[in-house]
Amino acid sequence: MTNVSNAPAPAPRWAVRAAHAAALTTVPSGLWRIALALGLPVGYSDQVLRHDFHIPGWGMAYVVGLSVVSEAFALLTLGLVRPWGEVVPSWIPIIGGRRVRPLAAVIPAALGSLALIYLWSGFLLWWNVDQHPAMIGPWRNIVGILYQPLVLWGPLLAAVTVSYYRRHR
């Protein structure tokens, strides 16, 4: 008698790579925002930093927090290709050790990918729109390059979500 398991197949290699790429999409812009929070000259004058971004001040916490939260959400993509996306880690109170219901992962991931596509697709037009008059020197181009990976975040998450759904249906 053979032992038949209803465990899903492992994630395909392309999905694992896409999940890791999605997790990395927030790093360049996050590092730029952290440099901004530290008051480094990364594209704005001291006057713009003080008045528009409130740096130094509460704006520092905002931009660092935005970077940390963005990366945390991007790292959740890995759960769609790793075991902790199928069984909740045991160290998590109350639900630890329980199987993740596929739709509990698929629905938020699908909605998140749609939101990310909507939010970041405009950055494809970064260089066609002159909405960055406060940026100094070459920083408009540098920031545009640093934010371009975010355009890929939503589509990568969508692809990994479809893979997860197919493996768990």
Summarised one tens digit per residue, pLDDT across range 10-67 is 999 999 999 999 999 999 999 999 998 988 878 887 888 888 888 888 888 999 999 9
Torsion angle of the four alpha carbons 150, 155, 156, 159, in this order, in degrees rounded to the nearest 10: 170
Q: What is the pLDDT of residues 87-123, one digit of tens each?
A: 888 888 998 889 999 999 999 999 999 999 999 998 8
Q: ∠ CA 139-145-149 to the nearest 5 degrees?
A: 145
